[in-house]
Amino acid sequence: MKDNKTLRKNISYVLSSNMIIALIGLVNVFLFPKIMTVESYALYQSFMLYITYITICHAGFSTGMAINYAGKNFEDISLRRFKSEIFLLFLIVLFFFFFISIIYWYSRYEVFYYLVLVIIPYVLVGSYKSLLQSWNKFRYFTIINLFESVSIILISLLIYFIYNEFSGESYIYIYLSVYWVVFIYIFINLFNMVKKTESISIFSQDNKNTWRLGAIFVIGNYINILFIVMNKQVVQIFFSIEEFAYYSFGISLQTLIMLFVTSISQPLFTIMAKNIFSSSDYDKIKDLLIVFSSFSVCGYFVVSFIIKRYIPNYSNSLDITAIYFMAFPAIYIINCLYFNFYKYKKLTKYYVKLMSVMFAIMLALNIMAAYFFADMKYVAISTVVAYYIFLFCGGIRLSFITIKIKDILYLIVFMLSFIFINYLNNNDMLSLIYMFFLTLFFSIFFYKNSIFALIKKEI
């Protein structure tokens, strides 16, 4: 099918470009704790934590736009309506800019100062990238991502080589500069695109409907963000600055793994919106996501090898990393299948209710782990448990995506193998080989039909 070929092409295109971003991200993960003090690294991680909170500052309007435009070509949209949407989106972000400015004025909390500076470019660039995904313009989407990632790391390295030191503040100002450059470029392009077009009213009924659709869904998205970062926030509250830095480093590879998840979920959403997949197709996609995520877990041993030899000061973060890696199968399925299905079926109320329950579970488990055990490892364990609760509960509404007995058996055998190899073998490279071939064997044994379907391009 043509759409299936398009899906494979988009996934391979985004995945290949994200490989470059992943390599840069890998350098970031190991470089910054090496060249920063623990205090600077904690500031850098605090900034990255709090910046996730401002993703809601489009108030759901850009989310509604992305849902409405999903599966459509940019050439077919109404520029009059698009111009009004862009103008309204800018006004919404401007409102939040002043709101956070007031919060900073009264609190004088350093991180809020940086949020004031970054909110306009960060939110608007993110909104534009979500529209590019909806229009199937993954080439432009990846170019922007590559520019951001490459620029930040190159400028950071340049400053470090010149001054032989690098602070958390330096990283933040580089981040701000790169995002402002990207924003200005996008703004100029959009301005030239619509400057000769007469806009409809920004308060038109169409825009109100778009906002209404996105506002409900963005609440669920925001709760999802809280669900993801809650463990990190709990550690920041209950533990010391140094422990927060070590924990943040331990889970920092989540960002890299999410690149691969995004490489699959973004093109997949565009095709799902066209309603061409059968129930058996979804079942095979679920199987393949489990397989791909399992091979991602094998990367832990490469990470362990690098940390032990080049950043030994952070070796005590490895237990956190190992625990968190075991959540990857659940993360893949939740993000690529569950969330995409909720979006394209527009199950906004169900999505918000589900995310509220899952967030409450995550919050309760994290706080209990921090309070009763006073050990960051138990916070990580409680996080993994919450993800698997989500995996089993989140698919109840999706009759065609079921977690079967064979999936549970596979996950149990896979995790026990990972734990056994990790704690009984001190040779990381040998462990990587063992885990890779065990994963290959288990994958073929449990999911050979789905794997062969992919090879034969039947999906």
pLDDT tens-place string over residues 209-223: 888 888 877 887 788
* 93, pLDDT greater than 90: yes
Task: Say whether pLDDT at 104 is over 60.
Answer: yes
Which of 201-205, 216-220, 324-328, 361-365 tops mean pLDDT? 361-365
**What pLDDT was estimated at residue 398?**
72
Q: What is the pLDDT of residue 102?
A: 95
* pLDDT surpassing 90 at residue 417: yes
Using CB atoms within 10 A of its CB, is residue 238 exposed (0-12), middle (13-18) or buried (19+)? middle
* Each residue's pLDDT tens digit, 230-265: 999 999 999 998 899 999 988 887 666 666 676 666
pLDDT of residue 390: 92
Buried b or exposed e, range 39-67, using 16+ CB within 10 angstroms = ebbbbbbbbbbbbebbebbbbbbbbbbbb
pLDDT at 4: 54
In this prediction, residue 34 has a pLDDT band, given cuts at 50, 70 and 90, of confident
State mean pLDDT over 388-403. Answer: 81
Q: Is the distance from CB of 380 to CB of 320 less than 8 angstroms?
A: yes
Q: How many CB atoms lie within 10 A of CB 371?
A: 11
| pLDDT reported for residue 122 | 95
What is the mean predicted confidence (pLDDT) over 94-99?
95
- CA-CA-CA-CA dihedral for 301, 47, 53, 121, to nearest 10: -110
- The confidence score (pLDDT) of residue 361 equals 95
Q: Over pLDDT 70: what percentage of the chain? A: 88
User: Above 70 in pLDDT, residue 75?
Assistant: yes
pLDDT (average), residues 321-347: 85
Q: Which of 10-14, 224-228, 268-272 has the lowest mean pLDDT?
A: 10-14
The model's confidence at residue 145, banded by pLDDT at 50, 70 and 90, is confident
Q: What is the mean pLDDT of residues 50-68?
A: 86
Mean pLDDT on 112-116: 94
Ramachandran assignment for 133, one of left (phi > 0), alpha (psi -120 to 50 degrees), beta (any other): alpha
What does the block give as tokens for 149?
């990632």
Closest alpha carbon to 192 in 72, 86, 68 = 86
Percentage of the chain modeled with pLDDT above 90: 37
Averaged over 360-383, what is the pLDDT? 94
State residue 337's pLDDT score: 84
Lowest mean pLDDT among 69-83, 94-108, 187-201: 69-83
Question: Is residue 270 predicted with pLDDT exceeding 70?
Answer: no
pLDDT higher at 390 or 456? 390
55-69, 286-300, 427-441, range with greatest mean pLDDT: 427-441
Work out the average pLDDT over 359-378.
Answer: 94
Count of beta carbons in the 10 Å neighbourhood of residue 74: 16
Residue 2: is its pLDDT beyond 70? no
Work out the pLDDT band at 458, boundaries 50, 70, 90.
low
Confidence of residue 201 (pLDDT cuts 50, 70, 90): confident
Say whether pLDDT at 277 is over 90: no
Token digits of residue 425: 């073998």
Mean pLDDT score across all residues of the chain: 85
> Which of 355 and 75 is assigned the larger pLDDT?
355
Q: What is the mean pLDDT of residues 348-352?
A: 81
Tally of domains in the chain: 1
The predicted structure's pLDDT at residue 17: 65
Q: Which residues touch 313 (CB under 8 Å, ≥6 apart)?
A: 33
What pLDDT does residue 198 have? 80
Q: How far is 317 from 91, CA to CA, in rounded Å?
A: 43
In this structure, are residues 259 and 18 in contact, taking their beta carbons and an 8 Å threshold? Answer: yes
Predicted TM-score (pTM) of this structure = 0.80
Give 150-196 pLDDT, tens digit per residue: 899 999 999 999 998 899 999 999 999 999 999 999 999 888 888 77
Q: What is the rounded average pLDDT of the residues 434-450?
A: 90
Range of the domain at 35: 2-455
